[in-house]
Structure 1
Amino acid sequence: MSERTTSGTAGTPVLPVAPVGPRTDVPDEDVPTVESPPGTWVPDVLGPGYEAQTLYLAPDDEGAVVATLVRHRPETDETLRPARAVLYLHGWSDYFFQTGLAEHWTARGVAFYALDLRKYGRSLRAHQTPGYVDDLETYDEELDAALAVVRSELGAHARVMLMGHSTGGLVTSLWAHRHPGRIAGLVLNSPWLELQGSGLLRHLSSPAVAQLARFQPKAPLPNIDPGFYNRTLSAATGGEWTYDERWRPTPAFPVRAGWLAAIMTGHTLVARGLSVDVPILMLASTRTLITPRWHDDMRSADIVLDVELLARRAVQLGPCVTVVRIAGGIHDLVLSAPPVRARVYAEIDRWTAGYGWT
């Protein structure tokens, strides 16, 4: 079957739309569901030391909606309440499974929480379009709910930092801009701050994306994910990591027009300049390698985003931004090779000592 296209406005690119057919992105019935009674922690799929709590959100046009808060609780004196916490947000077509990150923070006396956003990972339900929202401000609901749980556990005066990876870095940056005074710092791991290519490409393609999003918001765009990134990660293909491929599939979940329009709106806001009022640490690889053919060098470069664009955009987030480039880093820097992620953690430690909890 040939691809359909939708006509854009004069002078704008024409966007292909994937052929109409049976939905292949809807979770199967055997996709695990993590759910707890309101306000209750239950054992998490990550095993001992990890617990999950379902956050029940307002329903949308697809029905019931939840998010999932995960916490790491090492075997320590439970009467102790840390005065500092980190809340982590994952990226696109992803979920929280980075246990090394959680254990890095808790080893330093910092309470660690991670949020599986609505329609991702533990929060994905069979009636939902994976990952879909048409406005990034939609995530304010689960961010506010998650922060309320953190503060209820640690106290109203606990110092909380947000940490976001890729799309989660864009979401957390925009949230922090709109909510001054709510957090102590922001750590960004390869945040998606600009469309691949350039701001000019975003400017030229925005009208076509907006038109498609208006009339066919859930129309899937052609999936161009060749699976190279997951190949660098998965233990089955030479990587180090084991994760649930029903929650992090290859190829990634289809990108839909309404979601892409929301992302591009976020990029436009970043390009105009944000005013995040807390110190920001932005980490990214020193190198991008995006090619149509597999190369083993992909195991030591960002093969998802243009890191030079990320670095240029980062300084527009607020008045106090530290940019650190990591040689040999992949897109999710904490999943890089052991010597590389050791440097990532060392840079986070150095920054937090100077800025993170001030």
Structure 2
Amino acid sequence: MTEWIPDVLGDEFEQLTLDLGTDDQGPVVATLVRALPRRPSLWARASGRRPLLDGVDVLYVHGWSDYFFQKRLARFWTSRGARFFALDLRKYGRSLRDGQTPGYVADLATYDEDIGAALEAMGRGEGGAESARRLLLLGHSTGGLTLSLWASRHPGSADAVILNSPWLEFQFAPARAAIAPMVELQARLRPMEAAPQVDLGFYTRAQQEVADPDDPMDVNPLWRPAQTMAVYAGWLHAILSGHKAVASGLSITAPVCVLLSARFVPPTRWSDELTSADSVLVVDDIARAALRLGPSVTVERIDGALHDVFLSRHEAREDAYRRLDRWVTGWRAAQ
């Protein structure tokens, strides 16, 4: 394991490269980013009160065609006393190496290695079992699906799961069962065959339209392209298998909070509607699928939110943070 070094996000952040061996495309790594906590205010030190999330570790996992860059999200957690970490999975963002197929895996369980290495680097021991600190998992989109499956396979490892527009169901839910056998066959015969590009870049445009000058985002277009990365048959089969597992019901023992936009607008043509709705996932289907994650699930629907609720226009973004704060405060009180 290498040493912590300064991260591309600036002085508040450091990164650590996690060696995951090799595959047929060469060396494989994941990258763990940590937010350095700010010194408590003089009042906080004088009061002697423990921060709300003292003793809590947060592990964030990004979505498809994405990486971690949200400074304000990290500050939300560190300002409340938590240790915040974000994981750029293998072949994404900071972890992408020359000659690799961006984002490609043939089984979402492959990421158990990435998550396990991250937890160990966080000082939690292998699988997180050796730490007395609470573990809160935070996942966006495909990262939400990945963490949901991981938490179900590792009961008791996470103390809370928060999902930001998790990709829990295929965009055309009734068609999933029909297309799954064809995708499975294609994945066996030609796993690296790419599907036609259907992303017109409207989701990226919507984020740019609603960008908040008081909360600027500096995004690397090589790591988060305007149009989504190529989708391959082997990867799509892994996603559909994950959706099937969710539909059959998971067993996440920890309480779950799901943050979603109030509505979906299909991105078939550009319109202002796309700046106040999820244009990636059919949110009503996701809300229904979320209830199959475990026995304790809260679904928060946010009017005007984009697919990443924390990148929405100002009013919806603030609403998302208020709801997150309310849920976390209640969760912590129950501890």
Give the TM-score taking structure 1 as reference length. 0.85
Tell me how far 1:291 sits from its aligned partner: 3.3
Change (3 A) 1:318 1:152: closer
* CA displacement, residues 92-145 of structure 1 (integer Å, 9 cap, x when unaligned): 000000111001111111111000000000000011000000000000001011
Tell me how far 1:272 sits from its aligned partner: 0.3
Cα distance in 2 for residues equivalent to 1:337 and 1:109: 27
Would you say the 8 A contact 1:277–1:319 is kept in 2? yes
Tell me how far 1:297 sits from its aligned partner: 1.6
Pick the aligned partner of 1:138 from 69, 92, 110.
110
Cα distance in 1 for residues equivalent to 2:169 and 2:190: 24
Would you say the 8 A contact 1:88–1:113 is kept in 2? yes
Pick the aligned partner of 1:232 from 199, 203, 206.
206
Pick the aligned partner of 2:35 from 63, 68, 72.
72
Partner of 1:147: 119
Pick the aligned partner of 2:20 from 57, 60, 76.
57
Would you say the 8 A contact 2:17–2:29 is kept in 1? yes
* CA displacement, residues 250-273 of structure 1 (integer Å, 9 cap, x when unaligned): 221100000000000000000000
Partner of 2:166: 191
SS at match of 2:298: strand
Partner of 1:264: 240
SS at match of 1:49: strand
Partner of 1:122: 94
SS at match of 1:334: helix
Would you say the 8 A contact 1:231–1:239 is kept in 2? no
Partner of 1:176: 151
Cα distance in 2 for residues equivalent to 1:85 and 1:261: 32
Partner of 2:327: 351
Would you say the 8 A contact 2:38–2:78 is kept in 1? no
Would you say the 8 A contact 1:300–1:336 is kept in 2? yes
Cα distance in 2 for residues equivalent to 1:75 and 1:291: 40
Cα distance in 2 for residues equivalent to 1:148 and 1:161: 15
Cα distance in 2 for residues equivalent to 1:267 and 1:147: 25
**Residue identity opposite 2:184 in structure 1:** A
Pick the aligned partner of 1:156 from 115, 131, 145.
131
Tell me how far 1:349 sits from its aligned partner: 1.3
**Number of residue pairs the alignment of both structures matches:** 316
Would you say the 8 A contact 2:210–2:275 is kept in 1? no
Q: In the alignment, does 2:58 pair up with 1:86?
A: yes
Tell me how far 1:206 sits from its aligned partner: 0.5
SS at match of 2:123: helix
Would you say the 8 A contact 2:210–2:312 is kept in 1? no
Would you say the 8 A contact 2:260–2:309 is kept in 1? yes
Would you say the 8 A contact 1:53–1:68 is kept in 2? yes
Give the TM-score taking structure 2 as reference length. 0.91
Would you say the 8 A contact 2:13–2:36 is kept in 1? yes
Deviates more, 1:279-288 or 1:237-246: 237-246
Cα distance in 2 for residues equivalent to 1:251 and 1:354: 38
**Residue identity opposite 1:246 in structure 2:** L
Partner of 1:41: 4
Cα distance in 2 for residues equivalent to 1:233 and 1:292: 17
Which structure 2 segments of 5+ residues have no match? 41-49
Partner of 2:141: 166
Q: In the alignment, does 2:179 pair up with 1:205?
A: yes
SS at match of 2:97: coil
Tell me how far 1:39 sits from its aligned partner: 4.1
Tell me how far 1:355 sits from its aligned partner: 2.1
Change (3 A) 1:189 1:238: closer
Cα distance in 1 for residues equivalent to 2:123 and 2:132: 8
Would you say the 8 A contact 1:151–1:158 is kept in 2? no
Would you say the 8 A contact 2:25–2:99 is kept in 1? yes
Partner of 2:298: 322
Would you say the 8 A contact 1:288–1:305 is kept in 2? yes
Would you say the 8 A contact 1:118–1:131 is kept in 2? yes
SS at match of 1:324: strand
Which structure 1 segments of 5+ residues have no match? 1-37
Cα distance in 1 for residues equivalent to 2:124 and 2:299: 33
Would you say the 8 A contact 1:39–1:54 is kept in 2? yes
Cα distance in 2 for residues equivalent to 1:151 and 1:279: 23
**Residue identity opposite 1:108 in structure 2:** R
Tell me how far 1:238 sits from its aligned partner: 5.8
4+ runs deviating over 4 angstroms: 152-155
Change (3 A) 1:269 1:238: closer
Partner of 1:294: 270
Cα distance in 2 for residues equivalent to 1:291 and 1:47: 34
Q: Identity across aligned pairs (percent)?
A: 49
